[in-house]
Amino acid sequence: MNLVLAHRVDAVLFDVDDTLIDYLAARRRGIVDFVAELGVSVDEAVMYAEWLRLEELYYDRFLAGELDWIGQRRARLRDLLRWLGAAEPADDAESDHWFARIWAGCARAIELYPDVEPCLTRLADGSVSTGVVTNNVPQMTIVKLAAAGLDQRFPVVISVSDEIRGKPDPRIFLAGCAALGVPPERTMYVGDRLGTDAVGARDAGMIGVWLDRTNGAGRSGSGPVELPPGVIRIGSLGEL
């Protein structure tokens, strides 16, 4: 907390998934409903863990430029269906159609965390600029923010694109600061991923804040994590 008080903060940039929206719950709904429609019987928690593992694997490859965005979706779905022992789509068009069903179920389930609105209201009262910097592609960012009722809320929204590489590349964080017109050292970045978000922001010269909603349990229940120097940990946006 001393670190926060030692800094003048003129702007706060937020991550989106699992920081503003409960994306863990939403995408679980989407994939669980899809697998149920396939008629496959599987342990829901084990299947969801595999789905998250595949997402991490292939989305990271997309962010690294090894796969395009649609390619990482097809690969994730193909691998999950093989893991389930289920029939695979006949072609790319069918794969995209199936993924669209998964995504539709996910989008319907998107909800804001309850601490978001009070936090944004409080920041607005303090004349602090706000925005989002996300590793989503623009079309997904727009849909997610709209589903959460936040589409008119942020003057600055930075997504990954052909020109902007994803976090933890410092340039995406700095693009957010530049768009707000606030120097990085006076800009706080808040995200649920310690390395990608908080350490990445710190390394870009910002105030990196790790939103640890697991209350020290770790994202996969792996237990307490040692906090890197220069990073602030909060348990909810109410602490911001």
Give exposure, 218-231, as e/b (b: 16+ Cβ within 10 Å).
eeeeeeebeeeeeb
Minimum separation from the CB atom of position 19 to Mg ion (A): 5
Residues 182-211 that bind Mg ion (CB under 5 A): 192
How many residues bind Mg ion (CB under 5 A)? The answer is 4
Residue placing its CB nearer to Mg ion in the complex, 98 or 210: 210
**In the stretch 49-88, what mask flags binding to Mg ion with x, by CB under 5 A?**
----------------------------------------
**In the stretch 150-189, what mask flags binding to Mg ion with x, by CB under 5 A?**
----------------------------------------
What is each CA distance from 11 to 128, 146, 158, 175, 199, in whole angstroms?
Answer: 5, 22, 14, 13, 18
Please list the residues that pair with 37 across neighbouring strands. none
Give 21's DSSP letter: B
Q: Does 22 bind Mg ion (CB under 5 A)?
A: no
Number of helical (H) and strand (E) elements in the chain, helices listed first: 9, 6
For the chain, the residue count is: 240
Both structure tokens of 146? 């709209």
Residue placing its CB nearer to Mg ion in the complex, 35 or 156: 156
Q: Looking at 9, 12, 13, 17, which residue binds Mg ion (CB under 5 A)?
A: 17
Q: Interface with Mg ion by CB under 5 A: which residues?
A: 15, 17-18, 192
